Structure 1
Amino acid sequence: MKCDHKNTGMTMTMTPEALPFADLPLEEQAYRRLRQALVAGVFAPGDKLSIRRIAEALGTSPMPARTALRRLAIEQAVDVLPSGTAIVPRLTRPAFLELSTIRATLEPLATRLAAPRLDAATLRTLEGLLAEHDAARAAGKPEQLLRVDREFLFTLYRQADAPMLLGMIEALWLRRGPLFWEARWVLMSQPGDKAHRHGPLLEALRKGDAAVAARELEAEINDATRVLLREMRFQGDPPANILPSLGKAPRARAKLTLG
């Protein structure tokens, strides 16, 4: 599913990545595809997801879309208005810090569990994704950068063979995805050696050093958290016109209007 953020109308199209859900009941398909889209950062904070438009994008009747939105509301991934329209929520600073703190515990744990299970084929896949990541950064393509970053990490996490842990991480990414989409140009603006630690992480995995790989990932998550807390506006922040007097002006804010 793709969402066009260049105008006020939401345009969504289904992508091939949704096809594995084709054999599931329509309500389950709708839920999983919307969940996948939120994890991927297809939607930005504040986006409105009407039942009608979701149904059109999914090619279903309104009922599966309505059920999917209700399930996502229970997971606190969206807020549903009385009209039935869902809104992608904007995190508060404390909520984002809590989310990041939990991520910095669970995702390194998945890395430690995955490290001894990696085979040569998976390492080659990770190497290829790292090359794609670097190419996306060099080409100035933040959307591709986010996609490859997600694929790199979840390729690693799935090797942990820990379904409960993977589900917890995916639930965190439901809330993470929209913010990172909005912040894609901020993330793109970071120097390459500061933006992520996939290279040292992968090198540690090649050596079978799970502890070092986990520490690299924890540091990467904490680095991104500090950048976004500094650069982004969150729910409940003071109005932008008084931020300079508080010394908290979002320095890269102009870039957020691109894309």
Structure 2
Amino acid sequence: TPAQAFLVPEMSVERYEEISQIRKNLEGMAVEAALPRLTRGQLAALREVYQRFHSAKLAGNVEEALHTNHLLRFQLYSYAEMPTLLNLIEQLWVRIGPCFNFLYPESPDYVKKHHDYEDLLVALEQGDVERSVQAIHYAIDDATVILKKQYFA
């Protein structure tokens, strides 16, 4: 019955790529707006969440990696103090959420690979807007590459 079930729509690679392009623009805007407002304490909090994310990835804890990935991104975006923008980004994440379960393949090479969040945190700490936005774009692009292999193949 409708009250007891829900439907997860299938995602085509074309639709995923469209949403990713929109996300790059919106999430880049959020990073650009957040950067001038970031305090040392907020940067430290982001770095702590990144360490939890990285540890979860190394341990193969997909659930924690997904949780901390989301936490890191939305914590950063919330610092922009633009609730409408944050809501739009969240809506796009919800649309592609089921795909995210395929983001962390079991490959040891992938797990040990350098992550764009390292570049993001350095750029944020240096106050470099262009590199910060670029790191978010790379993170979205890297996820697209992984999902094309893991989910859309």
- TM-score w.r.t. structure 2 length? 0.90
In the TM superposition, structure 1's runs of 4+ consecutive aligned residues that sit over 6 Å from their partners are: none
User: Which residue is equivalent to 2:33?
Assistant: 113
* Equivalence for 2:24: 104
Unaligned runs of 5+ in 1: 1-48, 53-84, 234-249, 251-259
Indicate the structure whose relative CO is greater, using CA pairs within 8 Å and at least 6 residues apart. Answer: 2
Shift of 1:197: 0.8
Alignment of structure 1 residues 17-56 onto 2, 5 Å: 50-52=2-4
CA deviations 1:132-183 (Å, max 9, x no partner) are 01110121101100100100000000000111111110110111211112x1
1:200 equivalent to 2:108? Answer no
1:170 and 2:90 matched: yes
Structure 2 matches for 1:81-160, cutoff 5 A?
85-160=5-80
2:60 and 2:111 mapped to 1: Cα distance?
Answer: 12
CA distance in 2, matches of 1:134, 1:208: 23
Which residue among 204, 221, 224 is the counterpart of 2:143? Answer: 224
Q: State the match for 2:134 in structure 1.
A: 215
For residue 208 of structure 1, give the secondary structure of its aligned residue in structure 2. coil
Bigger helix share: 2
**Count of residue pairs the alignment pairs up:** 151
**In the superposition, relative to structure 1, how do residues 141 and 213 fare at CA in structure 2: closer, same or farther (>3 Å)?**
same
Task: Report the alpha carbon displacement of residue 227 of structure 1 after superposing the two structures with TM.
Answer: 2.0
| 8 A contact 2:34–2:81 mirrored in 1 | yes
Identity of aligned residues (%): 32
What is the TM-score when the length of structure 1 is the normalising length?
0.55
Give structure 2 stretches of 5+ with no counterpart: none
